[in-house]
Structure 1
Amino acid sequence: MLWIKALHIIFVISWFAGLFYLPRLFVNHAMAEDAATRARLQLMERKLLRFMTPLAVLALLFGGWTWAYYDFYAGAGWRWMHAKLLLVGMLVGYHGWCWQLYRGFAADSNRHSHVWFRWFNEFPVLVLAAVVILVVVKPF
Structure 2
Amino acid sequence: MTATRTELAARLAAYDRLLEVGVGRRPEVAAALVDAGSEVTATDVFDAPVPKSVTFVRDDIVARRDALDGGHPGAPYDVDAVYGLNLPAELQRPARDVAHAADADFLFTTLGFEEPVLPVERETVGGETLYLAPRRR
State TM-score, norm by structure 2: 0.22
Considering Cα pairs closer than 8 Å and 6+ residues apart, tell me whether 1 or 2 has the greater RCO: 1
Normalized per residue, which structure has more strand? 2
- The structure whose Rg is larger is 1
State TM-score, norm by structure 1: 0.22
